Structure formats: C-alpha cells, structure tokens
Amino acid sequence: MRTELAKQPVDATTTSAWADLSRLSGDLEPDLRGWFESDPARAERFAFQAADLYVDLSKNLLTDDVLAALVDLAGQTGVAERRDAMFSGEHINPTEDRAVLHTALRRPAGTAPALHVDGQDVDADVRAELAKVYGFAEKVRSGEWTGVTGEKVRTIVNIGIGGSDLGPVMAYEALEPYVAEGLECRFVSNIDPTDVAQKTADLDPATTLFIVASKTFGTLETLTNARLARDWLWRSLVAAGAIEDTDEGRAGAVAKHFVAVSTALDKVAAFGIDTENAFGFWDWVGGRYSMDSAIGTSLAIAIGPERFEELLSGFHAMDEHFRTAPLERNVPVLMGLLNVWYTNFRDAHTHAVLPYAQQLHRFPAYLQQLTMESNGKSVRWDGSPVTADTGEVFWGEPGTNGQHAFYQLIHQGTRLIPADFIAVAQPAYGLTDPVGDGKAVAPGADVHGLFLANFFAQTKALAFGRTADEVRAEGTPEELVSARVFSGNRPTTSILAPALTPSVLGQLVALYEHITFVQGVVWGIDSFDQWGVELGKKLALEIAPAVAGDEAALAAQDASTAALIARYRTLRP
Ligand code: F6P
C-alpha cells in the first residue's frame, strides 16, 4: 500500500531551513584555521561515535549555525518519518510499489516485535534462507559437498553484475584475512568474454563451483556468462574424462558445480539449476542493498557462517544507531546532510572516498553503485521534476596510491571536492621496516603507523593549507611562492575504526546506505529504483543484430551509430 507520504515529497527548497542555509552559505567565509584557533572545543564537538566508528566532522566547512540549519532541514523534509517508514516496511519505493527492507536482512534472530510486511513473516523468512545458505556454506567448507569427481571445492566463481557482484567482491577483498585456507573466490561480471576466459583459464573444473547470482535472473551479462561458464565446465570435464558427453553427464555436472541466488526461482530452474541448490531473497531488497542477503553466499562460504553473522551484526549496529540516535548526533544523518550542503549550497559536484586500508580497494567502486544508482535522479518520487541538484559523482582509490595520482587536484584545483578518509587502527598484516631509510624512517618503524601518518597528514593539509608567508619562510624563491601555496579549507571527514573486522565492514556499508537514504529523502527522490539503466539495455538488444551483420538493422541506426558499427565490422576479422 502506497503511503500518503510516498505520494507527496516535501520540496526542500521551499523550507525555512533551505532559506537559512542559502543565507548562511552566502555569508560563510571558510576559515578552518581560525575556527580551530578560536574554538578549542571544535574537534570534540564535531566528533561522533557510531557503533565502532569514530567519525570526525570537524574539518568540514561547518559552523554550529550551519549544522543546526541542516538538522532543521532533515526535520522539515521528514527524514526521521521516512526512516521509520522504511524500517517498518512501508512501500517507500513508490515507482516499484515496494517496501525497502534491507535492514530486515540483519535483524538478530528473535528481535521483538516480529516484522510482518504485506502478509510475510519477514524475520522467519530471512532466518530460514540464511540457515539454508549457512548449511550449504558448511557443506562446501567441510568438503561434504563435492564436484562430480568427488573432490572438494577449492574455487568459487560468483557470476553476477552490479549489486550481484560489487558487494560480494568488495567484501571478499576486504575480509581476505578471514577466508578459509584452501578456498578462493573469483568474480565474473563483464559480458566481455575476456572476463570468463581469464577467470577460468587456470581452473580445475573438478574443484570449481559456480554461483550464478542475479536478483532477476534475467540480466543479459550474467546469463550469458553463466552459459559460457557452463559450456567451459562441460568441455573441460569431458576432456578430462570426468563426465560422459551426454545429457545426463552434463546435467550431473550442473547439479554439482552450479548453484544460484535469485528472487526468480522459475528462471533458475529453466537454466537447469535444481532449485534445491538455489538461495532466495525478496523484491524488497534492492540489488545494490543486497550483499548481506543470499547474494553474499560466496562470502559466507569463504569466511564461514560465524563471520558472516558478525558482518550482519555490524550492519545491525549501524541500523540501530541510525534508527535511534537523535538527528543532531546521528552520523548517517549528519553525513548525508553535509553532502546536501556541499552539493546544493557549495557547488560541489563530486565526492571522493579514500580508504586508507588496502583491503578496501573496491569500496569506492561499490559505493559508486550504491550512491549513484540510488540518487542519480531528475524526478521526485511523485514524478515531478527535482527542485535542486541531486546525486554527486562518487569516486576514489585507496590512499596512499591516490596521493601520487589525483590528490593534486583536491589540494590545489579550482573545484571543491569533499572527501571521506577511512582508516583502521589495527592492520591485518603488521609489518616493520627492518632497515629504515636512514632519514625520516627509523629501523624497526611500524609501516602501518607510517601509512596512517599519511592519513592524518592529508586531512590536515587539506584543512589548514600553507600560506604564502609560510612558504616564503621555508626559503622558497618569490617566483615559486604562489605555486606552492595551499589554500586549505578543503573539507574532509575522517572515519577511524579499530580494525577491518566483518562487523566493522558491515557498519561501514550500512553507514553509506543510510547516508544515501538521507540525501534521497531531502531531495524527494526514490533512491530505490533505477529506471535510468533500462534504455541502454533495450538498445543493446536492438543493436545486436546490426552488429551481427543484419543490414536492415544497420540501416535503421542513426548515422553515427551506423558508422561505428560498420567500422567495427571492418576491424573484426
Ligand atoms: O542494471 C542495473 C541493475 O538492475 C542493478 O540495479 C542490479 O544490481 C544489476 O542490474 C544486476 O541485476 P540482477 O541481480 O537482477 O542480475
């Protein structure tokens, strides 16, 4: 049932808070140096704890007045009401008329009161499906589940794309120290046949398990890759003499080497996978919000059910913070509001996410889908045009690599680029430098400490910069002074966690899920649909015959596209 609220987004630009923010922005003269000097309590006042995450907002272009107006904006646009509507299962995804209940995926067993939505006992279903995933994971890990030759699975290949790939691969990389010895996961996503070819090239089919992960089980890339993988499996097993080249032989191979994750079990069966070996989830879990559903089966096998439960408890801890903390101390609310501040009042177009943890190297890519597929919208949830800019471009790479690539632009470019710096205190691999460099780095220095010195240094440099006088005082020739000045006042948020445990990873992901939600509510958009990806998919299917040589289909294309296809055909041997 669609709620009244769902039909009527508040136009944020008509609120008094928006007017206050416009005025405050007009009057604002960013001065992080001065603000810290004149206000010794600033660092403490703008630092918050959310579950295990220490979140320092003090190096943002934020004053008490701005913060108060932002919190007012959340109040006037109904952030808390819509948050509560989400948690309780109302259909806050109006364009698809669906509840949005990824938070139900991580409710601890036995949470009261039980969650019933649209006639479904959500808690019971979630727990039953998790039990199925965990049972399967244990079988694979213990070796009870074998391939056709009776050998234990050593490699799991997850075939999926978008939300059925980015979350699992990001989490697998992040939690690599927790992966069981002797198990490896690989991830195939791209329909470029190179992806399947490279990922299977050195694999032993007898010890390989494919997981076809697709919410809809209708995604061209995933089904094509699944067919390629199935063909590779059959050919390799036949060549190895492991199966007969018969229908029974091939069906037996699929039964032991293919499982599926989907909401569309009929299509799973049509592909030839026994639905006994399929794990389900529900239409109220968006693809980009699904890594903690059965979509995480590859991860659950790799790290084991116990660690997967820890991941879920981390998600839940952040959910509880978001659900219960007052708006003015609610970290996802504050970070979402800051993003609105920069996007709509400070002319920022992009947002950098810079993890100082190598294991989080896929986190920015994961966040790109989460944030941009959610909030890249031009109409509001009632179909009317948005009234302000939405959806900043999220991007990033791990530090320190990024420092030697694109940080120049963040430090001295003409554009304002708010950045989130994320670090963990305890490294997964603690190494010392045995020799040192004879200058700054002493023998026996803790390399992770050196790494984090960069994390601290960068936000400091961005906030406080370096004045012309300071540059001169270093003996810089006058003609080079301006090139070496750093303006400072470049906003950053620092997030520090104790260690990259499964729980902390869950907290981080949930934090960004809720940040994204808050922005969507303020802008009045449906953050849970993704109609903008449909046209390209449809056209690809229409164009495919032209690419394959159908002259009539080629003639039907516009001149540019026809010329490109014709050129491709001359280049393709
Ligand atoms: O094309 C976009 C999208 O629908 C994403 O939202 C989704 O995560 C991805 O495709 C994959 O979809 P599926 O899991 O149904 O294969």
Give the per-residue pLDDT at 384: 94
Query: Looking at residue 14, what is its pLDDT?
Result: 98
Task: Write down the pLDDT at residue 573.
Answer: 75
What whole-number distance in Å separates Cα of residue 365 and Cα of residue 354?
11
Query: What torsion do the CA atoms of 531, 536, 542, 548 make, to the nearest 10 degrees?
Result: -150
**CB 167 less than 6 A from any atom of ligand 1:** no
Ligand 1: does its nearest atom lie under 6 Å from the Cβ of 164? Answer: yes
Whether 335 and 493 have beta carbons less than 8 Å apart is answered as yes
Asked if 267 is an active-site residue, the reply is no
Residue nearest to atom 1 of ligand 1 (CA): 533
pLDDT score recorded for residue 229: 98
From 96, 216, 366, mutation site for ligand 1 pocket: most ligand atoms within 8 A of C-beta:
216
- Is 337 near ligand 1, meaning CB less than 6 Å away? no
Ligand 1 binding pocket mutation candidate from 170, 219, 289, 535 (most atoms within 8 A of CB): 219
Overall fold of domain 116-306: Rossmann fold (3.40.50)
Cβ–ligand 1 distance for 507 under 6 Å, the answer no
Q: Is 256 a catalytic residue?
A: no
Give the pLDDT score at 8.
85
Q: Say whether 116-306 and 12-88+325-427+454-523 share the same fold.
A: yes
- Give the H or E element holding residue 16: helix 16-27
What is residue 7's predicted lDDT score, i.e. its pLDDT? 65
Q: Could you tell me which of 29, 45, 17, 68 has the C-alpha nearest to residue 344? A: 17
Catalytic residue among 129, 309, 310, 373: 373
Question: Are the CB atoms for 523 and 12 separated by under 8 Å?
Answer: yes
Residue 47, Cβ neighbours under 10 Å: how many?
A: 14
User: Which ligand 1 atom lies nearest to the CA of residue 290?
Assistant: 8
Distance between CA atoms of residues 31 and 275, nearest Å = 61
Amino acid identity of 172? Answer: Y
DSSP structure string for 45-60: HTEEEETTEEEE-TTS
* Pairing verdict, β 419-426 and 350-356: parallel
Tell me, in angstroms, the distance from the centre of ligand 1 to residue 191's CA. 14
Given ligand 1 and candidates 295, 297, 530, which is best to mutate, with the most ligand atoms within 8 Å of its CB? 530
pLDDT reported for residue 325: 98
Return all residues near 470 (Cβ < 8 A) that are at least 6 apart: none
- How much distance in Å is there from the Cα of 219 to the middle of ligand 1? 7
Q: Do residues 430 and 450 touch, judged by C-beta distance below 8 A?
A: no
Query: Which residue, chain included where needed, has tokens 């041997």?
Result: 573
How do strand 53-56 and strand 47-50 relate by DSSP bridges? antiparallel
**Dist CA 309 CA 293 (whole Å):** 11
Counting from 1 in the atom list of ligand 1, the atom nearest the Cα of 288 is 8
**Two tokens, residue 114:** 């039980």
Domain boundaries, the chain: 12-88+325-427+454-523, 116-306, 542-571
For residue 351, give the 3-state DSSP assignment: strand
Q: Are 394 and 364 in contact (CB under 8 A)?
A: yes
Helix (H, G, I), strand (E, B) or coil at 509: helix
Give the pLDDT of the chain (573 residues) as one tens digit per residue: 455 445 689 999 999 999 999 999 999 999 999 999 999 999 999 999 999 999 999 999 999 999 999 999 999 999 999 999 999 999 999 999 999 999 999 999 999 999 999 999 999 999 999 999 999 999 999 999 999 999 999 999 999 999 999 999 999 999 999 999 999 999 999 999 999 999 999 999 999 999 999 999 999 999 999 999 999 999 999 999 999 999 999 999 999 999 999 999 999 999 999 999 999 999 999 999 999 999 999 999 999 999 999 999 999 999 999 999 999 999 999 999 999 999 999 999 999 999 999 999 999 999 999 999 999 999 999 999 999 999 999 999 999 999 999 999 999 999 999 999 999 999 999 899 999 999 889 999 999 999 999 999 999 999 999 999 999 999 999 999 999 999 999 999 999 999 999 999 999 999 999 999 999 999 999 999 999 999 999 999 999 999 999 999 999 999 999 999 999 999 997
- Ligand 1 atom closest to Cα of residue 373: 6
Q: From the CB of residue 179, how many other CB atoms can be counted at a distance below 10 Å?
A: 18
pLDDT recorded at residue 374: 98
Ligand 1 centroid to residue 112 C-alpha, Å: 32
Active-site annotation holder among 181, 276, 404, 479? 404
Distance in angstroms (rounded) separating the CA atoms of residues 326 and 324: 6
Peptide bond before residue 400 is cis, with ω within 30 degrees of 0: yes
**Residue 294 alpha carbon to ligand 1 centre in Å:** 15
Question: Do 465 and 488 form a contact (C-beta atoms < 8 A)?
Answer: yes
Cα-Cα end-to-end distance for the chain? 55
The C-alpha atoms of residue 506 and residue 308 are separated, in whole angstroms, by 10
Question: For ligand 1, is residue 453 a contact (CB within 6 Å)?
Answer: no
287 lines ligand 1 (CB under 6 A): yes
CATH 3.40.50.10490 is the classification of domain 12-88+325-427+454-523: yes
Q: Where are the alpha helices (DSSP H) in 418-501?
A: 447-464, 468-473, 478-484
Residue ID of nearest Cα to ligand 1 atom 3? 162
Q: Nearest 5 degrees, angle CA 346-CA 348-CA 353?
A: 130
pLDDT of 4: 47
In the annotation, is 373 catalytic?
yes
Which candidate, 134, 112, 133, places its Cα nearest to that of 123? 112
Q: What is the number of the ligand 1 atom nearest to the C-alpha of 213? A: 14
CB-ligand 1 contact for 299 (6 Å cutoff) = no
288 close to ligand 1 (CB < 6 Angstrom):
yes
Ligand 1 near 225 CB (within 6 A): no
Q: Give distance in angstroms: CA of 242 to centre of ligand 1.
A: 35
3-state secondary structure 474-498: CCCCHHHHHHHCECCCCCEEEEEEE
> Cα 399 vs. chain centroid, distance in angstroms?
18
For ligand 1, the distance from its centroid to the CA atom of residue 26, given in whole angstroms, is 41
- Can you tell me which residue has the tokens 């799991």? 156
According to DSSP, the β-strands at 278-280 and 258-262 are parallel
CA–CA gap between residue 521 and residue 336 (Å, rounded):
10
From 504, 173, 183, 190, select the one nearest 366 (Cα to Cα). Answer: 173
Q: How far is the CA of 17 from the centre of ligand 1 (A)?
A: 36
Kindly state the helix (H) or strand (E) to which residue 158 belongs, with its residue range. Answer: strand 155-159
Is the C-beta atom of 162 inside 6 A of ligand 1?
Answer: yes
